[in-house]
Amino acid sequence: MEYKNLGRTGLRISAVGLGCGNFGGIGSAPAFFGKGETEEEAFALMDTACEMGINWFDTANAYGGGRSETYIGNWLKAKGSRVRDQLVLSSKVFNPVGDGPNDWGLSRRHIMGQIDASLTRLNTDHLDMYLTHETPDPATPLEETLRAMDDLIHQGKVRYIGASNMPAWLMTKALWISDKYNLHRFGWAQNSYSLLERDDEREMFPLCADQGLGHTPFSPLAGGWLTGKYESGGSFPVGSRMTLRPEPYSKLVNEKVFRGLDALRAHAAERGTDMASLALAWVMSHPLVTAPILGPRRPEQLEPARRAMEIKLTGEEREVIAGFFV
């Protein structure tokens, strides 16, 4: 396993992270709480990730209604302090965790309450990485959020802070506020990035390069679209994201995307590999990507990560592959 510095911090994380968003649910959607991976299945995934050398697990307070953090905490309790000492734990705050008016968002009140709830579920005294899950929060000044996150670092509850689902203009503003008031800065961005979602190339990647930020993309396989499971004219597999939570990916249902997938499949076969491994290698080969997050449903779905690390793509090869979807 390769390990990389997270932006200009001294924290070293594995070249791929384990996404735990399906532990006990499907992301933060209340309709799916109690579904997704069982605790036993989550344990098997974490065991396999550890055996591969993955040292970074990513979750959120709202995943599975708190079940994701609870499963990880129970696994850590069973494994003992030696495993916790080597693991980089990442969680997030923003999405609703109740029905009250203060049960969501990035206010000082919500952040301070949720960090303690997350630490309790995770069975640990600190988080290595803590992110705002959605930004902006229209109800909370950005300075209030940044001061609260800075306080968590001073209290020893958090080591490094980052931002997920954040546009470049707002990240720029956040960095400016932190610099102005001598607050700890966001150290990385965690946005969607894949062959089918390349918005961050326009503004976020240049900002990362200029400010020394890390980038830990989620959905590097576009919710399974880049694995070959979806074909033109075919029905979506039972239990797939397109049957459970299709809204984020509905825009991909068109012939242009299906033609690109066919080209990617053929190119992968020429190289003696599979679509998922090649698509993941494409993301990992971007010089500004620190490490993508994979959210496997079964241990064997971590194999593309193992193969992707062996695929070295040149800049010209990346352009050829990206051209399949133009």
Query: Which is catalytic among the residues 3, 63, 71, 181?
Result: 63
Tell me phi and psi for residue 25, to 5 degrees.
Answer: 175, -175
Strands (E), 115-270: 127-132, 158-164, 186-190, 214-215
Separation of alpha carbons 67 and 84, rounded Å: 19
The two most distant CA atoms of the chain are separated, in Å, by: 55
Please, which residues have CB within 8 angstroms of residue 48's CB and are 6 or more apart in sequence? 299, 302
- Residue 21 burial (CB count, 10 A): 22
3-state SS assignment for residue 197: strand
N- to C-terminal Cα separation, the chain: 33
6 touches 12 (CB < 8 A): yes
Peptide bond into 237 cis (omega under 30): no
What is the rounded radius of gyration, in angstroms, for the C-alpha atoms of the chain? Answer: 19
SS3 of residue 2 by DSSP: coil
Is residue 161 within 8 A of residue 188, CB to CB? The reply is no
Structure tokens at 270: 């020429």
Reported as type and span, the H/E element at residue 51 is helix 39-52
Specify which residues 160 forms β-bridges with.
Answer: 129
> Which secondary structure element, helix H or strand E, spans residue 118, and what is its range?
helix 108-122
Residue 63 among the catalytic residues? yes
Cα distance between residue 310 and residue 135, in whole Å: 35
Q: Quick one: tokens of 87?
A: 């693991």
Residues marked active site are found at 63
